[in-house]
Amino acid sequence: MINLFKSFNPLNILWLAILVFVLRMGYIAEAPDKLQFVFVEPFARLLLPVGYEYALSPFENVCLAGLVVLGQAVLLNFLVNKYNLLGRSTFLPSLMYVTVTALFPQFLILSAPLLCNFLLIWMLFKLFSFYKGDDAKSTAYDLGMIVALGSIIYLPYIYLFLAIWLGLVIFKPFNWREWISGILGYVTVFFFFAVFYYLNNRLGSFYQIWAPLGTKFPNSINIKYLNYLVLIPVIIIIGLFLFHFQKNYYKSYVQVRKSFQLLLVIFIIAGLSFYVKSQFSLTHFVLCAVPAAVFLAYYFAYASRKWFYESLYLLLLISIIYFQFNTF
């Protein structure tokens, strides 16, 4: 399958769609009677006064989530090929994204973090454009607005604001106006949000929006470790990616090196921001799927032993499907 997606063939989109369905069959068979879908934070419910959480049946929920993942996979593939992050045009980023977003059952349903991946991919288009852009002020302003929109959908997304400043550090010489532009973009969205609160006589509670950011980082998390065995093939592949990337690091274009630095930063920020939500949920970590998919795609793009990388990917697929039917 890896060899099939190494080539840049538009027909691979059809195979992607089939894989999206296959990776969701197990969950559809075992899905609960009801699935809740909340795509805005509680403080934004004034914008959506009607009840919608259970408007979709579990089957509709999972199928719509599959379509969302397929669309995001195609966008991510276009992004990686546009900026030549793999050194060649392939469909591997889309394949890896579809695979990574099926790692856990919580990834297979519609959720606010999953929708935020559209915004994250949009941010990456703009962040990567810093490298050749002469004036990044307008781009930073747009990025601030995107982060603000993401915060309304899913509050932990606010930490992706750091990616704007770190992107400026990585790609551009220091210019304080560009740094301020990102803040102004974020404030613009919430200024109009504050006006909406004022018109609804709720301005007093507007300041409580950011209260969860004061939550202390947890000292321990109660998890069932056996449910995470599916990550073993992923960890192996990421380790192989790091090995291959460090060998090719200085052979790569400067923009490619800087882009991977930014992706690593985003991966870390997205992973560590889970604590903002009082209840631990694996759903949050679907935000890590975008950079993780690029890392995995890089390894498979440069892997040379067909029997090994095909077997490794097959092991990953089998693990995903197995753990959909077996929880510990």
Q: In tens digits, what is the pLDDT along the chain, a chain of 328 residues?
A: 787 888 888 888 998 999 988 888 777 777 777 777 777 777 777 666 656 666 677 788 888 989 999 999 999 999 999 998 988 889 999 999 999 999 888 888 888 899 999 999 999 999 998 888 777 888 999 999 999 999 988 889 999 999 999 999 998 888 888 899 999 999 998 888 888 888 877 777 777 777 777 777 776 666 666 677 888 889 999 998 888 888 777 777 888 888 999 999 999 999 988 887 767 788 889 999 999 999 999 998 888 888 788 888 999 988 888 877 666 5
Handedness of CA 131, 288, 99, 242 (dihedral sign): positive
pTM comes to 0.91
Backbone torsion region of residue 97, taken as left when φ is above 0, otherwise alpha when ψ lies between -120 and 50, otherwise beta? alpha
With CA atoms as reference, report the closest residue to 69 among 10, 114, 126, 125: 114
Residues 34 and 55: their CA atoms lie apart, in Å, by: 10
Of 328, 327, 324, nearest to 102 by C-alpha is 324
Yes or no: say if 41 and 153 are a contact pair by the CB < 8 Å rule: yes
3-state SS, residue 298: helix
DSSP for 125-175, written as a single string: HHHHTTTT-S--HHHHHHHHHHHHHHHHH-GGGGGGHHHHHHHHHHHS---
Nearest alpha carbon to residue 143 among 111, 186, 197: 186
**C-alpha to C-alpha distance for 218 and 220, rounded to whole angstroms:** 5
Which amino acid makes up residue 274?
F
Dihedrals φ, ψ of 82, to 5°?
-60, -40
- Contact at 8 Å (CB) between 168 and 144? no
- Placement of tokens 């750091």 in the chain: 162
